[in-house]
Every structure is written in C-alpha cells, then in structure tokens.
Chain A
C-alpha cells in the first residue's frame, strides 16, 4: 500500500515537472455589472462579475462610466468592486457607456477609443453596456 502511494506521489511530481503548471490567462474575463449598492462609508459599491476569476496583475482595473473614471477597488475571485462617491455617482448621466479596462487610468481617455478596443476584442477592454440609475439594488 505504502509502495503504491509512493509511486503515485512520484507520478504526480513527475507530471507537475513536465507540465506548465496551472496557467491563468492575463486578460479580462467576460463580465457584467452584478450589483450597485450603497455601502456604509457613503460610497456606491459598484460590483462587476466575471465568468471566471479576474487576473491578479500589476496594472489597474479602471472603470469608465461616461467621462468618469474610477480605480479604487476590491478584487475577490470573479468579483471586482469599485467604490464610487455618491456625489460623483449622482452626476453620471443616464445612458453613459460603461467600460472596464485593465491598464493605466487616464481621465481624458476617449469613449470612442474604448469602444473601438472592445469591438476589436482587445483582451484588456470590456464593454459593460449603458449606465442606468435602475442598476442600484439590482
């Protein structure tokens, strides 16, 4: 029994040695807005859910809603939560385009550029539809 167990362990170790290990793609998963709720610190917690875990890398997740740009977030597996000050949240116009980007935050980034990158299926850009106040408590 011990011999079989040792053989099995050796097999696992050899398999690990000859395979690339468990690889994670460094692109954004397909994702959507999961929920938008006020939190206890006076912010709106804007949560995005991916169809798999968000990659843990060194650039930033950047949420563009219309001309507003947000970076502060919590990352937990397939969830990203951005904390948007209520005053800024209220100023977002209905119908503004929502984009998630992985990279640098630029407040003057053109919406058309973001839309174009999404159309081209660039791995660091995702379009999340149009903003609506109805998202709150969704």
Chain B
C-alpha cells in the first residue's frame, strides 16, 4: 500500500512537472463565421514578370457581421497543381489556363477552407487566393513563377486594401474599415510557400506598404534560395512528403539564422512526422474533390513498401487526413495568433517550452517537433557551428575541447566544406549543401566510449548566464552510424567546481532514430531544437558558469549532429502580468471584489469575472474591475478572474486567477483568517506559512507590487528566491475564507 502511495505521489509530481497551461490554439473561437467569394475574371491582372494575364479570384472567411474591427488579415496561397478538369470525364485534367471549353477550373484555393474557418472564428479575416494561371506556365520560367506569385499576391493585397478603404464589387462597402492591413500574415503551400517568401521580400522592397507580421511556408520548395529576415517565419515540414521530398523549406529557417546580425524576428519550424504533401489541401486529397487528387506519400513510398511512410503498412507512421489537417491548424493558428494578433499566450508552444502538443492537433508527443531560433536580442550564440574554426574556438571565443571521438568535424555547409557523408541522396539530408548550393553546417560527432565528451568553455565576460531562460541547441541522430534512439548528458560547470547534469532525453524526444527504409527518401536527417531550462541545472551558480559539456556517458556508442548552441531568453513574453483579487464579505452573502492584479503601467485591462454561482443567472459574470456579487446562499464558490491585457506594443497577454470563496457567518471567517501568520520576520532564506490549509495560495510581491512568486501552499515551509535583495516585501496568503497580507523584512 505504501509503495502504491509513493508511486501515486511520484506520478502526480511527474504530471505536475510537465503541466502545461497554454491555451489550445486549434480550438474553434467565439466568432460566428461567414464566407464569400470574389471573381474578377480569369485574366484580370498582368504581372510584369510573367508572359500572360492571371486570374483574380478567391474566397474570404470573416467574423459574421464584422462588428467592431479592424480585424487582422491572413492571405493564403496554394501550390502547383493541375488547373482544370474535363466536366464530362474528370479523369482528364490538364494544365491550361483559362480552362478550355468543356473544362472546369480546379479550385485549389478552396483547399484550406477548414483553416480559414478556424482563423475567422478567432477574429481574423482570411482570404485564400487562386493562382492557377501561374501554375500553367511557371515551369518555363527560371524562377518557376515566383516573382509572378509575389506580384500577384501583392495585387491581391492591393485589391483588399481597396475593399478596406473605398469598397468595390462584389462586396460594396461591407469591408470598409474592417481590415487591419498593418497586421497581415501570409501562408503559402508548396510552390506557394516559396511564393510568400518572394512576396514578403517584394513588400519589404516597396517600403512595407502592408504590415506583414508573420509568414508560414508549408511544405515549400526553395528553388531560388531567397532569404527572409526581419519577419517571424515558420516552416512546416511533412516527413512523408512524396512531392517536395527534399523538404527544401528547411533552408528558409537555416539560411535566415545568422544572415542579418540585428534580425530580431524569430524563426520556427514544425516537423510533422507521418504527414504527406497533399493532405493539407482538401482539393488535392483523395475523397475530398472530384479530380486530380493523389496521396503523394503512397505514390512515392508504395501503399505497403515503407515501414513508416506507406499508409497501409502495419504499424504505419502515416497520419490520416483529419489528423494532418488538425496538426496544421494547431501550429499555424498558434503562430498567426501569436505574431499577427499579438496573443503571446501561445509562446510556450512556439518556443519549445511545451513538450506535449496541443490536444486539438491530435498529435502525440513523439510525432511533432518544434524548433525555435529566437531573435538576435533574445539569444547569445555560444557556438553557431558555421565554420571549421568553431571546432576549436566557439563563437564567444571560448575553447572547444573534446575527447578522442571517432568522428568530430563541422560539415555539410556546402561549397568547399566537407560533406557529412551520411546519405547519397539530398532527400535524406535536407539541411546539407552541395558544391554549388549552400547548406547548414553541422557538428558531426561519433563516440565509442562512455567517457567521451565535447566541451564549450565560456570566456570570463559571459560567465553570468542567469539572465537567460534556457540552453538550446538543435540536434539530429546520424542514422548511418547510430544504432537506435540516442541519448547523452548535457552538463554545466561553474567556477566553484560544481557540476549539474541533465539527460537530454528528459527534455526532448528529438533524439529519435528517424524512421523509414526507402533508399533515396527516408530516413531523413532533420534537426530539432532541444531546449533545457537553466533552472534544470541545479547545484551550479548560474552567474559563474565556466563550461557547457556534452557527456556521452549514456550509451557506449552513438552518432549525433549538432547545430546552433545558444543561450536563449523568452521572446516578448507576457512578463509582469498576474491576475489577482481580494474580496470583502458583506451582509446577505454580498461579496465585494477588488482587482489586485499586477500589470505594467500603460496596459489596457479587460476583466472577465465568473463567480461560480450559476444559480445567480446572468449576474454570474461581470466585466468591471471592482464588481459586487450577491451569492445565492452559503457555500463554497470557485471565483475566477480572467485578466486580458493589451500592451502598448499591441501584444495581448492573459492570466487567470481562481480561488474558492467560502461564505460562512462572519465570526467563523474572522476566526480562520486570524489563524494565519508568517514567520520568521525578518526572514533570511525561508518562511513558514502558519495556519494554511490544503489548496491555499501564497504569493510574494515587492513593496511596489511587482509579483515575484505565486504558488500553491502545499506545505507550510517555503524557500525564498536566492536573487532577492534585502528589503521589505508583501506576502499574501489566499484562503477560502479570504486573503491576508503580511509585510516581511528580508535580511540576509
């Protein structure tokens, strides 16, 4: 019985340590959604860089009624696909434009309606545009029609800017003043993916007439190797892509990382294991459209030939169409809601803090991997792993040392840099370069002893790492030499000789052995971020760190590829926001609530109260800062305050605070509160919270009201953060009977 109890406690602690509170970005929002189409003709616009006119046609999803606004805007652009089918025999498709007599145009632009619907329900206006004419002729152009895609998309933005300013057919004045053209996001699939990168560069070159805040490349090609900086970027890579099998979009992330020193825009990538190319678009998906569909994964890998990417193979890793779309929705929604709508509550998903995917994605942890390259102002590069010199001296000037590793070289960067020698096909090493094309340099390490290691020393000027949130690097298992899933230890040492170790697999599933056995396509080397919070390294002084060590002490042999070793801070996270309230019980079950939340001056605050008292009807919610609620009777009520904050930057932050309110005769209440006390006072490194009960919450603030700690008071003794300086602090204990605040002197 005791063992069971211990097991239960351990399980509970383990769940607690992985608890995630990030809202789910892929759940439907609160807006009802309407839809309309527009069609200005098959040959309505002539891009300068293209031999023929192109169509202006699309579909728009928007919040029904368009109350308020302006709303942030998304533009979606499909990829290359057949353009028309024969009406009397849909097995005949072709690549002509405009469609010939007897042929009907294929509406690839309608293939993302499921995503447009979701985003509109969150208050976006989403326009998905048709570019069939470009598809019809792009192979005959050396840029594969990318400049035409860019110009055409910009023309679509111009069109919608006109709808926003003066209106026009077919919408009249419906959208006037409803689009925020300074909060725009774009998503392009496949060739459309490279197209939105070209478009973002075109918009920049024009002086950024439209405020492009975020760009998603979904399974894109990257023929032109254009590099997009200064705009947040996300690349989504489907592992079982049977069309763009080389997953070329990894270059958009790789090439942009160190391209511009002052680039503060983050880069993200999402690897979706088991996803193919076409299922993101319902018009390209078998069973969802009348003509021209295919399962590219099965076409390339066979329905049963590949152990992972064949959909009919026993134990297949392939995603069904619904799961693939759900996964895309979750991560793309998190990205656009974060960077276009400014809702930073999704940052933990994008910044690799959350290890469990959002429930709406339908993805288990082992099938989706997020990478994050923070902006230059949020990152200290320890070893960029860009050139051979960084095998011995890292980016900060610290020494790099190693044991006698079986292999140790920076490789794969293309040009004259040596190849990593892993696969003969570029499809299996998407990141690498060739003699004529740049790639991502990577540190190739193989070990054959548990005493093997690699160390990056930190020069004296960089020993204080306490201002950063985490240690971060990207890694991939070298499938040619590793036998299976790999693991190793990451350690920090300080100038006092202390060592703190963290096993990499504890922090990430990224060290998996890449699946599949189709020579020339899979397995693939794909780099994923492993982020280790610095507070995981216990026992070292973070202001005196001397070295960062990879200790290969877990397995007797292994092979790993490493990139981008850095210390990272959080992006513009919602710091200094903490919802809180006090309550005063009056007569007749009347309770007066008072906002005690912590925010920045200049924030605009929005309150949503729920008193947990449904019997009170509509009065159960309120939106003022100091509401009064008359409860229906004696009892315990769970009262929640959802505090939403709009920062001057436009970012939206949110925090929720819930507490039980016990309505009892005043005498009993006073008795319970009077039992609370805090000691010793003055305090040194710990406090005892006297008189608390299970479920009480304690918090500590500076005398100016800045929140330092808030936690469940699950035991009376609490330790005070080491970084606090001496002075006066406010310690509040929130109980069911009410709250009580003490002034505590810290004296160390």
Name the one of B80, B141, B290, B521 contacting A58, with C-beta atoms under 8 angstroms. Answer: B80
User: Contact: A56 with B142, CB < 8 Å?
Assistant: no
* Min C-beta distance of A60 to chain B, whole Å: 7
Interface of B (DSSP majority class): loop
Complex alpha-carbon distance, A77 and B632, angstroms: 74
Chain B residue at minimum C-beta to C-beta distance from A73: B139
- With a cutoff of 8 Å between Cβ atoms, the chain B residues found around residue A60 in the complex are 139, 144, 221, 223
Chain B residue at minimum C-beta to C-beta distance from A120: B519
Q: Is A46 an interface residue (CB 8 A)?
A: no
Chain A residue at minimum C-beta to C-beta distance from B287: A20
Q: Is B424 an interface residue (CB 8 A)?
A: yes
User: Contact: A21 with B139, CB < 8 Å?
Assistant: no
User: Contact: A108 with B435, CB < 8 Å?
Assistant: yes
User: Contact: B434 with A108, CB < 8 Å?
Assistant: yes
From 281 to 309 in chain B, residues with beta carbon under 8 angstroms from any chain A beta carbon are 286-296, 299-300
From 24 to 46 in chain B, residues with beta carbon under 8 angstroms from any chain A beta carbon are none
Complex alpha-carbon distance, A89 and B248, angstroms: 29
* Min C-beta distance of A40 to chain B, whole Å: 15
Q: Can you name 18 extra interface pairs (CB under 8 A) apart from A22-B90, A55-B294?
A: A20-B287, A21-B289, A21-B290, A21-B291, A22-B291, A23-B286, A24-B294, A26-B299, A57-B80, A57-B81, A57-B243, A73-B139, A106-B426, A106-B436, A108-B436, A120-B519, A123-B300, A125-B520
User: Contact: A21 with B287, CB < 8 Å?
Assistant: yes
User: Contact: A22 with B296, CB < 8 Å?
Assistant: no
- With a cutoff of 8 Å between Cβ atoms, the chain A residues found around residue B456 in the complex are none
From 85 to 138 in chain A, residues with beta carbon under 8 angstroms from any chain B beta carbon are 103-104, 106-110, 113, 116-117, 120, 122-125
Q: Is A74 an interface residue (CB 8 A)?
A: yes
- With a cutoff of 8 Å between Cβ atoms, the chain B residues found around residue A22 in the complex are 85, 90-91, 93, 290-293
Name the one of B286, B425, B434, B436 contacting A113, with C-beta atoms under 8 angstroms. Answer: B425
Name the one of A25, A74, A106, A124 contacting B245, with C-beta atoms under 8 angstroms. Answer: A124
- With a cutoff of 8 Å between Cβ atoms, the chain B residues found around residue A124 in the complex are 245, 300, 520
Chain A 58-100 per-residue mask, 1 if CB under 8 angstroms from chain B, else 0: 1111000000000011111100000000000000000000000
Total contacts A-B at CB 8 Å = 131
User: Contact: A23 with B245, CB < 8 Å?
Assistant: no
Q: Is A16 an interface residue (CB 8 A)?
A: yes
Q: Is A27 an interface residue (CB 8 A)?
A: yes
User: Contact: B294 with A58, CB < 8 Å?
Assistant: no
- With a cutoff of 8 Å between Cβ atoms, the chain B residues found around residue A106 in the complex are 426, 434, 436-437
* Min C-beta distance of A45 to chain B, whole Å: 12
Interface residues of A (CB under 8 A from B): 16, 19-27, 53, 55-61, 72-77, 103-104, 106-110, 113, 116-117, 120, 122-125
Interface residues of B (CB under 8 A from A): 79-82, 85, 90-91, 93-95, 135, 139-142, 144, 190-191, 219, 221, 223, 242-246, 248, 277-278, 286-296, 299-300, 424-427, 434-437, 518-521
Which interface residue of A16, A57, A107 has the most chain B CB atoms within 10 A? Answer: A57
Chain A residue at minimum C-beta to C-beta distance from B292: A24
- With a cutoff of 8 Å between Cβ atoms, the chain A residues found around residue B435 in the complex are 107-108
- What are the 8 closest A-B residue pairs judged by CB atoms, nearest first? A20-B286, A58-B190, A26-B299, A22-B91, A26-B296, A20-B287, A56-B82, A57-B243
Q: A58-B277, A59-B245, A72-B142 are in contact. Are A26 and B436 (CB under 8 A)?
A: no
Complex alpha-carbon distance, A103 and B277, angstroms: 13
Chain A residue at minimum C-beta to C-beta distance from B276: A26
Complex alpha-carbon distance, A74 and B51, angstroms: 14
Complex alpha-carbon distance, A103 and B90, angstroms: 27
Chain B residue at minimum C-beta to C-beta distance from A113: B424
Q: A21-B286, A26-B242, A74-B140 are in contact. Are A56 and B294 (CB under 8 A)?
A: no
- With a cutoff of 8 Å between Cβ atoms, the chain B residues found around residue A74 in the complex are 139-140
- With a cutoff of 8 Å between Cβ atoms, the chain A residues found around residue B427 in the complex are 103
